[in-house]
Amino acid sequence: MLQMAASILIVYTGSYSGIMSVRPFDSSSAKILIPVVFFYNANVAFSLAGLQVLKIPIFNALKRLTPVMIIIVKFVIGDATPSRKVLYAVFTIVAGCFIAGIGDVSFDILGYSMALISCVLQTTYLTLVEKSGSDKGFNSNELLLYNATLSLPVLLILILGTGEAFAAFSAFEGLLTSSRFFFPLVVFSLIMGSLLNYTLFLCTLWNSALTTTVVGAMKGVVSSVLGFFILGGLKVTPLVVAGISMNTFGGIWYAVLKYYERKKRIHDPHYTKSGQNVQPILPTTTANLHMKFSK
């Protein structure tokens, strides 16, 4: 909830100072984006529930199934099908996920179910974000603002209803007096959380939902290593190591393929992107920079 409040403050501060381009908040746009907000918060809830049961390396491997689900959704709604090489890379991700799952001796059906439901929810909201940019013309600043504004009252009701707000207040009060680093770290985490959501929306608008899920999964490389050697708790078997390695390699392979595909299309004069009419994320665009330096 604090992160959503921080996001609103950051966007309005950026808009007031002229750094960010944001249209005035209106109810009609809010109604359009309600599904995005619902699936976003549901994804967060199921992800956190899955992480309470599963170890980070296994959870990361399962979350990399999201690109497969996005490919299926795009095929169903009639969007372009990825190239054969991209499909091979995604197949490698999936195969690695299943191999890691087979080698996980601490298999927990509840945790796996939570992670897979989270994949479905993430697929839905990223697809909606992509469509919101290409069809409705929202930019990432506006998506960040609407997501935070519409989520805030829902989260407030939840933490008040569950009693979490009062427990958190007591914990915060104690930590503020016992540690001088606590408050700066809270502020830092709020800023980083808002920046994470901003870049997630930005990547989805300018690339695709599929690219966001695969590139985002690259952070899983670091967190998986930390999960193995620092957090512990996962019994390392040859199948787990092989599966997570294959899963990670597939993600890197996909990212490289998409980079070269995009580079080729940018140099193709006949290439047009469905989302290229999206409003500028910042007031200074590439075109503005050319005009500025030409003067």
Q: Residue 96 in contact with residue 248, Cβ under 8 Å? A: yes
pLDDT at 188: 93
Determine the Cα–Cα distance for residues 22 and 36; give it in Å rounded to an integer: 18
Q: Which residue has the tokens 């569950």?
A: 162
Q: Decide if 274 contacts 134 (C-beta within 8 A).
A: yes
Q: Give Rg (Cα) of the chain.
A: 21
| Dihedral angle computed from the Cα positions of residues 47, 51, 54 and 58, in that order, rounded to the nearest 10 degrees | 60
CA distance 252 to 68: 15
Contact 88, 246 (CB under 8 A): no
Residues of the chain with pLDDT > 90, as a percent, come to 5
pLDDT bracket for residue 225 (50, 70, 90)? low
Instruction: Tell me the pLDDT tens digit for each residue of 178-204.
Output: 888 999 999 999 999 888 888 888 887
**pTM greater than 0.75:** no
pLDDT at 290: 38
The CB density around residue 102, as the number of other CB atoms within 10 Å, is: 14
Q: Which residue type sits at 22?
A: V
Whole-Å CA distances, 194 to 11, 72, 112, 185, 208 = 10, 29, 28, 14, 20
Residue pair 71/82 in contact by the 8 Å Cβ criterion: yes
* pLDDT at position 184: 92
More confident residue, 258 or 103: 258
Q: Quick one: pLDDT band at residue 48, thresholds 50, 70, 90?
A: confident
Give Cβ neighbours of residue 248 (< 8 Å, ≥ 6 apart).
Answer: 96, 220, 221, 224
What's the longest Cα–Cα distance across the chain? Answer: 66
Q: Cα separation of 75 and 49, whole Å? A: 30
Give 22's contacts (C-beta < 8 A, 6+ positions apart). Answer: 11, 12, 14, 15, 139, 141, 142, 145
**In the chain, what is the straight-line distance between the N-terminal and C-terminal CA atoms, in Å?**
46
Q: Which of 58, 209, 207, 185 is nearest to 128 (CA)?
A: 209
* Chain CA centroid to CA 17, Å: 27
